Structure 1
Amino acid sequence: MAVKFALLMYSDPAETAAMSRDQLREVGRKHERLRAELTAAGILVAGAGMGHADQTTTVRLSGGAQVAGPGPLSAAREQLTAYYVLECASSAEAVGVAERIVDFHVTSVEVRHVHDSFGMVEAGAGVSARS
């Protein structure tokens, strides 16, 4: 049975801004090839690039009220830059794809199980505190 995984890609916005046109093209071509391979294998569900971290709005709970403010959730050097959602036979397969993504631009990839939260409260849906 296939399981969905989100591959969350992180990079340093300052490093991305310093990349040459050739480097940007290389990254684009790499992901075009990878997307084609994942599509042909029938495991690509979705994927997209994310806007720059400095164009982000974060909504937080503050004093019991929702407050929107500029900037990403974390001030970390590496920021979320793109994602893929894959439907894989195992976590090892998803990790294998993540290993192909990490390079001079995408310096880390989080692999997270995606669960269907609908009905989670009523049925338990196999979701634990660690899901």
Structure 2
Amino acid sequence: MKYMVLMYADPAATEAMTAAERADVLRRHEALHQDLEGTGEMLNGAGLALPRDTATIHHHADGPRPADGPFTDTTEQLTAYYVIDCATPERAREIGERVLDFHVVAVEVRPIHDVFGMAEG
């Protein structure tokens, strides 16, 4: 089963990280990548630009309405993601727990399913 591992952090805290803290975060993610590439569970992933560089486009009856900034106005913002393929939801959560630290303060682990969830049941 495929899962999205969505990582959330405070962008202000990200920008305030020291070089040593950035190196620690990079080291931890590189180790996770190596482990999961070795097992075949890592499919892809990426870090995301800061929310100030984000555009959100809202649907309205009179047409799309773009706005600067992220979809939600919260302290913690989506900062990165992984797409993993593993055998059980428990394993997916275990992988998600490995990215929690002083920087990534919340992780959402969500199954990826067919046809955008629109398949007939």
- TM-score normalised over the length of structure 2: 0.94
- Aligned identity (percent) is 42
1:17 maps to: 15
- Superposed counterparts of 1:44-123, under 5 Å: 44-117=42-115, 120-121=118-119
What is the CA deviation profile of residues 2-41 of structure 1, one whole-angstrom value per residue up to 9, with x for unaligned ones? Answer: x000000000001111110110111011101100110001
Residue identity matched to 1:60: H
Q: State the aligned residue count.
A: 121
Residue identity matched to 1:18: A
Distance 1:77 1:60 in 2: 21
What is the root-mean-square deviation of aligned Cα atoms in Å?
1.5
Q: Structure 2 vs 1, CA of residues 69 and 19 (structure 1 numbering), >3 Å: closer, same or farther?
A: same
Distance 1:41 1:79 in 2: 29
**Gaps in structure 1 of 5+ consecutive residues:** 127-131
What is the CA deviation profile of residues 71-100 of structure 1, one whole-angstrom value per residue up to 9, with x for unaligned ones? Answer: 000001000000000101010000001111
Residue identity matched to 1:100: R
